Structure 1
Amino acid sequence: MEKSAELEVPRSSLSKGEVEMGSSAPTLRENEGDNVGETIAPAGGNQTTDSTTGPSEVGAENTEYVTGYKLILLLFSVTTFFFLLMLDMSIISTAVPQITSDFHSLQDIGWYSGAYQLTSATLQPLTGKLYSRVSAKWVFLAFFFIFELGSLICAVSTSSVMFIVGRAVAGMGSSGLQNGALTIIGGALPLEKRPIYMGFVMAFGQLGLIVGPLIGGVFTQYVTWRWCFYINLPLGGLAGIFLAFLNVPDETIKPQVSLALLRKIIPDLDLIGFAIFAPASIMFLMALQFGSSEYPWNSATVIGLFVGAGVAFAIFLFWEHHEGDDAMIPFSMVRKRVVWVSSMQFTFLMVTVFVFAQFAPIYFQSVKGVGPSLSGVYMLPNILSGLIFVILAGALVTRLGYYIPFAALAGTGTAIAGGLFSTWDPDTTTAFWIGSQVLYGLRGFGVQAGLIALQNSLTPAQSAQGVAFLIFCQNFAAAVFSVVANTIFTQTLLKQIAMLAPSVDPASALAAGGSAAAVRALVPPGSPELGNVILAFANSFDTVCYMVIASSAVSFAVSWGMGWVDVRKKKEPGKGEA
């Protein structure tokens, strides 16, 4: 069969044996189902041509799938990548107290997660365009190489600044991994099989979140916290080798990767918008960080950064409006109520996750006096209960049809749990802090609500953009609120130390970090002020929990605007519809 005629023949007339998997130039074969006989428009509008594909091929639907042992290797690779990504988000939580003690940098704790989330959020809108134009496998591997490089920098860091740079580089790599893993699975499997395998990948990723604090605690206490980042290198390298040598089809036929292709797609990436948005974000976060530690809030430096961020953001909004649907963040999509409401519901609920995960180990180690590994064990009640409620919510929404009640219940339960967290003190009983965390697990009821709302309220073409915007909002909010939470914690600690333990230098308390040994070394052995020092750390943790209450309350309030859509009443696609 000639290439130039491939799309002129209806797919229903092609035999399954006419095209074999693993060919160097993917071609069409009969789809496994009723969706046949339709011509699929190229992604991005016009058809394109390159040296390896005919003018009618590029952008058309690709129905080449992966089966057998190749599918097993592909799933192993993708799930390993996803596991490491989720592991990296949680493994650092129990290591941070020791890292701050080693680098004498408690004031930088917000940057350890903030730098990661900022670079991830900033690049997130660009990754979707890259995946729609370039082979998903090679884009994914490029982002994972950057992620691995960042992990290596963190592992060999000799200062807090170097560690923050490593986290920023790793965040750049992570920006294309979560959506990239799902994109690869989407191209490798037919539509009816994707939910099963995507669910497997997501569940394996959740396992990374569960074991992360435990692994991080064990490494920190018995080996070194640096292994929290070294672990990404051998596992990721093995999975990367498998993926590199596999033929991974895309959902649409794309030209081969080349310098000519990269030069062609660069103008479509809205790099001008990115160049305006990135400094605006950086100036805003630097203003928050400097205002909390190095300069007064009314200093020229802090005010100048805020003003610069505001001006740059205003220019960014003007540019995005000018670009229309070609913008990095299309306004026509963001203006839809279901998009911005669902993004707010998901974002503010996830803010509570990031804030609690960042400061709960500080409480358990500095106040309760346990080591890193045991502090990871102490966080299991909220992690396990959260996972159970996520699975339960998926089953109940599928059966009952409506997601708003579960989103509202998640906001309510999380707000109540945040209120209980704010009462934790040095004498809090084990039963109370376990029960509080189990209640906090109710957040799992609302984690999927925003995604479900977008997928059931938008067209398939708009759904991808909506989900990308939602993830962008989550990452950017995590970067901002991590710094805000750190500002609240450090400023409260300075005041509490000065009031409760006058003999202790407040700056020394910040430099000590959050590990149990470092906090107790602030005063001589047997000092009557030790109890007050521990109380100061407990009170500082309590003030951070007010943010958990406020964020979950916002999530609860906006959840009612996502729209009452019965997900059981799905329009059955007719023959030929994608």
Structure 2
Amino acid sequence: MSAADSVEPPAQGRLRFWVTLGGLLMTTALASLDNFIINPALPLIVSEFGGLERLSWVMTAFMLASTVTMPLYGKFSDIHGRRALFTVSITFFLLGSLLCGLAGSMLQLILFRAVQGLGAGGVQVLAMTTMGDIVSPRERPRYQGLFNLTNLLAGIAGPVVGGAVTQVWGWRWVFYINLPIGALALAVLWFVLPRRLAHRREHVIDFPGIALLVVGTVSFLLLLGALEGTRAASVWEMVVMTLACIGAFALLVWQERRSAEPILAVGMLANPVFARTVLSSAMIGLAFFGSSVYLPLFFQMVGGLSTAQSGLMLLPHVIAGTAVSLIGGQIIARTGRYKAPIVGGMALLACGFFCLAAVTRLELGLPAWIVSCMMMGAGGGLCMPNLMVALQNTVPREDLGLGTSSMQFCNQLAAVAGVGIAGLILSQQIRANALAWFPAERVEEVVSQGAVLARTLGPEGLSRLAQVYENAFLVNFAMGGALTVLAALVATRIPQIRLSERIGGGPAPARTPEAPVAAR
């Protein structure tokens, strides 16, 4: 997107900039909130429709559709412009929301959630890409923390809002509530974003790449669901899914290297900044989300806290992450250097993991847990948004959507894999530890219904149950810390490139005697 077609940067058009930013944050909140707001409504949906065995597909269908479409939105937005693709994504999301509210069976709800996911896949990708269009890489860190804050608040508010809406108006309004918010966001973005790119080019659609992307992603997510136990699968089915996943992604890499219009930025892996940023970001996603999702369970089973108290224990994590993200963004915007904050954030995150394991083993109590969680939140808030800043700074502006969506696609797969793998390891560790404390016939109850079982046990039984879960979580935290250390080692190899002060993607051009920089 040319400077002429870009929304003015803050110094030139503050009102239009802040209106645009507000629209982007609304769309980000819309997609993030939908991942959490539905959870309290699921029991009522099952009671009305039945089909408990297919309940996991309400979430799986959404996840499949949104993950697969991420790279497509990024690529096509480079060709047709952000506004056109925002219109498509938000329209699909709102149509899916309306149909979900009108669903008359579990099968219909699953299909309509897939429609909703087709739109959700583009919302966050396009929001982050549009930030690259309207803010220079040098100024971008100042605003990345706002997107982090939006996502974190959505994660906290989602279950609360979902529970309140379900109780007062019924579960269908969990979907209807998206309609006015989404319509307002679309109206704002339609008004402020340009119609198309200034340099629209001829293109061909990479249909083989799209097909391989769909097959590989679907196989990966289905295999992960089978490993987690959320869906039944025979050994042969798992072998087929594994081979399909590996084969499809291997062919996808080959196809994208030879394609004139790739949908994944495989060719950019030759750029060391791009390759190492994507790799370290995926490793952080594996570690961070794989452990953070299970923190409430840790506080309940090991610390004996209530559900509400365990939720409140996440607040220091969120507050520290948001505050450090905003402060770090200001520092990077002033210095133009992103590498030290990225590596420092990863080091802080690793210390948080190891400290949480240590203070738990030493039984130092609640204050030590809070400090450890703050370290984890601060580390994640410092490194994760600035990895995107580093990547967008090196991507050519005409491929900004392609590069951004490729990284977010890898992050999405890594986050989902992190949650699944951590849950699998956690359940196996609980099962192994429980055999030393409980009768063999009660082991599965300890694994799958620990919170329910805790209500029936006396003081000695509760102590044993807490010890079982504590030993399992120590392994989880240690693995998260070790993976974060590896990510930090990769990040130390990211070349430091001065953040550009131009609107759009790509590094600033080198200054030469033949091409002096114009006076400001």
TM range (shorter): 0.7 to 0.9
Q: 1:295 to 1:121 in 2, by over 3 A?
A: closer
Alignment of 1:3-18 (within 5 A): none
Name the CA distance, whole Å, in 2 between partners of 1:193 and 1:337. Answer: 18
SS at the partner of 1:529? Answer: helix
Q: 1:192 to 1:439 in 2, by over 3 A?
A: closer
Alignment of 1:25-44 (within 5 A): none
Name the CA distance, whole Å, in 1 between partners of 2:482 and 2:435. Answer: 27
Deviations 1:418-467 (A, max 9, x none): 12333537966110110101111123222243233334444433555333
2:404 aligned to which of 467, 475, 478 = 467
Q: 1:91 to 1:351 in 2, by over 3 A?
A: farther
Structure 1 position 520 matched with structure 2 position 520: no
Structure 1 position 279 matched with structure 2 position 215: yes
Name the CA distance, whole Å, in 2 between partners of 1:152 and 1:426. Answer: 52
Name the CA distance, whole Å, in 2 between partners of 1:168 and 1:224. Answer: 21
Q: What residue is the counterpart of 1:489 in the other structure?
A: 426
Name the CA distance, whole Å, in 2 between partners of 1:162 and 1:538. Answer: 41
SS at the partner of 1:447? Answer: helix
Q: What residue is the counterpart of 2:341 in the other structure?
A: 406
Name the CA distance, whole Å, in 1 between partners of 2:207 and 2:454. Answer: 50
Q: What residue is the counterpart of 1:124 in the other structure?
A: 70
Q: 1:96 to 1:494 in 2, by over 3 A?
A: farther
1:417 aligned to which of 352, 375, 399 = 352
Which residue identity does 1:268 align to in structure 2?
V
Name the CA distance, whole Å, in 2 between partners of 1:306 and 1:456. Answer: 36
TM superposition shift of 1:343: 0.8
1:239 aligned to which of 166, 184, 203 = 184
Q: 1:374 to 1:458 in 2, by over 3 A?
A: same
Q: What residue is the counterpart of 1:477 in the other structure?
A: 414
Contact 2:162 2:174 in 1 (8 A): no
Name the CA distance, whole Å, in 2 between partners of 1:162 and 1:548. Answer: 38
Contact 1:155 1:227 in 2 (8 A): yes
Structure 1 position 175 matched with structure 2 position 115: no
Q: What residue is the counterpart of 2:197 in the other structure?
A: 252
Q: What residue is the counterpart of 2:497 in the other structure?
A: 565
Structure 1 position 450 matched with structure 2 position 387: yes
TM-score by length of 1: 0.71
TM superposition shift of 1:215: 2.2
Alignment of 1:100-499 (within 5 A): 118-134=64-80, 136-148=82-94, 170-182=116-128, 195=139, 202-216=144-158, 218-219=160-161, 224=166, 229-230=174-175, 232-240=177-185, 242-243=187-188, 246=191, 248-250=193-195, 252=197, 268-293=204-229, 299-323=235-259, 325-423=260-358, 424=360, 429-440=365-376, 441-499=378-436
Which residue identity does 1:460 align to in structure 2?
R
TM superposition shift of 1:477: 1.3
Between 214-223 and 156-165, report the one with greater CA deviation.
Answer: 156-165
Which residue identity does 1:397 align to in structure 2?
I
Which residue identity does 1:534 align to in structure 2?
A
SS at the partner of 1:326? Answer: coil
Name the CA distance, whole Å, in 1 between partners of 2:218 and 2:367. Answer: 42
Name the CA distance, whole Å, in 1 between partners of 2:122 and 2:461. Answer: 49
Between 270-279 and 302-311, report the one with greater CA deviation.
Answer: 302-311
Contact 2:81 2:197 in 1 (8 A): no
Q: 1:221 to 1:485 in 2, by over 3 A?
A: same
TM superposition shift of 1:278: 1.7
Contact 1:349 1:552 in 2 (8 A): yes
Name the CA distance, whole Å, in 2 between partners of 1:463 and 1:445. Answer: 22
SS at the partner of 2:248? Answer: helix
TM superposition shift of 1:484: 1.3
TM superposition shift of 1:526: 3.4
Q: What residue is the counterpart of 1:259 in the other structure?
A: none
Q: What residue is the counterpart of 1:23 in the other structure?
A: none
Contact 1:343 1:470 in 2 (8 A): yes
Q: 1:72 to 1:309 in 2, by over 3 A?
A: closer
Task: Provide the identity percentage.
Answer: 19
Name the CA distance, whole Å, in 1 between partners of 2:131 and 2:231. Answer: 48
Q: 1:412 to 1:217 in 2, by over 3 A?
A: same
Which residue identity does 1:332 align to in structure 2?
G
Q: 1:339 to 1:248 in 2, by over 3 A?
A: closer
Deviations 1:523-547 (A, max 9, x none): x353742332333333333333233
Name the CA distance, whole Å, in 1 between partners of 2:246 and 2:491. Answer: 29
SS at the partner of 2:312? Answer: helix
Name the CA distance, whole Å, in 2 between partners of 1:63 and 1:305. Answer: 44
Q: Which runs of 5+ in 2 are unaligned?
A: 502-507
Contact 2:285 2:411 in 1 (8 A): yes
Contact 1:345 1:559 in 2 (8 A): yes
TM superposition shift of 1:483: 1.7
2:487 aligned to which of 531, 552, 555 = 555
Structure 1 position 502 matched with structure 2 position 447: no
Contact 2:146 2:326 in 1 (8 A): no
Contact 2:213 2:248 in 1 (8 A): yes
Which residue identity does 2:454 align to in structure 1?
R
Which residue identity does 1:496 align to in structure 2?
N
SS at the partner of 1:542? Answer: helix
Contact 1:146 1:173 in 2 (8 A): yes
Name the CA distance, whole Å, in 2 between partners of 1:192 and 1:531. Answer: 55
1:536 aligned to which of 460, 464, 468 = 468
Deviations 1:137-164 (A, max 9, x none): 3421321243346667888999999988
Name the CA distance, whole Å, in 2 between partners of 1:445 and 1:157. Answer: 42
Q: Could you say which structure has the higher helix fraction?
A: 2
Q: 1:112 to 1:493 in 2, by over 3 A?
A: farther
Deviations 1:186-218 (A, max 9, x none): 77x6x679958x955x45433323433442453
Q: 1:350 to 1:149 in 2, by over 3 A?
A: farther
Structure 1 position 83 matched with structure 2 position 83: no
Which residue identity does 2:474 align to in structure 1?
D
Q: How many equivalent residue pairs?
A: 498
SS at the partner of 2:496? Answer: coil
Q: What residue is the counterpart of 1:26 in the other structure?
A: none
Q: What residue is the counterpart of 2:505 in the other structure?
A: none
